[in-house]
Amino acid sequence: MRRSVITGTGSYLPERVLTNQELATFVDTSDEWIRTRTGIRQRHVAAENEMTSDLATRAARRALDAARLSPVDIDTVLVATTTPDYTFPATACVVQDKLGVPAGAMAFDLQAVCSGFIYGLTVADSLIRAGQARHVLLIGAETLTRLLDWEDRATCVLFGDGAGAVVLQAAEGAGTVADRGVLHTVSRADGRHRDLLHTDGGPSSTGTVGKLRMQGREVFRHAVTNIADAMREVMEAAGVSADDIDLFVPHQANVRILEATAKKLGIPAERIMLTIAEHGNTSAASIPLALDTAVREGRAKPGDLLLLEAMGGGFTWGAALLRL
């Protein structure tokens, strides 16, 4: 059975760090409020001349190095992002050019907000299984701080910039849960709730980019239920239990959401990968950033069973089970 195996991970964070203390000098908030409600201590902010494609390209180079591949080996570039450089062309095409991935490769962006990386895994795995791709560069990259209304303290304290990337390669497996690679994914949406988390602009509505708007309490309520359902679904489909999970690598939205979800599923706190304190919520970049951090810190090793989940605007949500 054909499997999509992650053979390299990489990430990049902009140099500039914005701490809660510094944020509190120009927003009516406090380090204590942000830390206790969300777990965030700081976030990274892209430099003025740094675009999403720049962050994506740096993360991708590191993932390619880790996979011992060169850009010429890549046949598909998929960028999950809500903050593309331009309305078009796709940021993936910019990254293709900056990296030197040969002409003729497939390159496109995927817009599923914070669930972009899970959706991307579903798409990349489907392309590989269908024989349409063999070496996929899947990147989650965001300059989300550019969508923030710095007058809205309920949202501007939550988000940060960054990028994470993985190389997925086709490999043959036995078709069992012992195989390396993506074992099962679910990607879901419910557009009825789109107003609870959205931007108030876009090319076809206002002709502007818009700012991020969110009804935090409502998002929180839906998040815990949807995420837990998706996680249960992938575990049941693969026939594994919470005890089998070596590391839980969730979308880093809010420490309270992910601890509540892990508890619901019976995953102990020491098996949760947490990067939210340092990164904030980096939307589609947050899972691959956390995954690369886990790999580089030795917390996720080849052969480990990983459970990933995300939820975001749309609503979109999903989960993925994979063996590294």
Question: What residues make contact with ligand ACO under the rule CB under 6 A?
Answer: 29, 33-34, 37-38, 114, 153-154, 157-158, 197, 214, 216-217, 219-220, 223, 251, 253-254, 281, 311-312
Query: Is residue 281 annotated as part of the catalytic site, yes or no?
Result: yes
Shortest reach from residue 220's CB to ligand ACO, in Å:
4
Shortest reach from residue 159's CB to ligand ACO, in Å:
8
Shortest reach from residue 73's CB to ligand ACO, in Å:
33
Output 66 or 276, the one with its CB closest to ligand ACO. Answer: 276
Shortest reach from residue 132's CB to ligand ACO, in Å:
30
20, 251, 254, 279: the active-site residue: 251
Q: Phi-psi bin for 113: left (phi > 0), alpha (psi -120 to 50), beta?
A: left
Query: Is residue 251 annotated as part of the catalytic site, yes or no?
Result: yes
**163 bridge partner residues:** 12, 141
Q: Which residue is nearest to ligand ACO (CB)?
A: 216
Q: What are phi and psi of 159, to 5 degrees?
A: -110, 160
Query: Is residue 254 annotated as part of the catalytic site, yes or no?
Result: no
Output 57 or 286, the one with its CB closest to ligand ACO. Answer: 286
20, 44, 93, 114: the active-site residue: 114
Output 184 or 198, the one with its CB closest to ligand ACO. Answer: 198
Output 169 or 261, the one with its CB closest to ligand ACO. Answer: 261
So which residues are the catalytic ones? Answer: 114, 251, 281
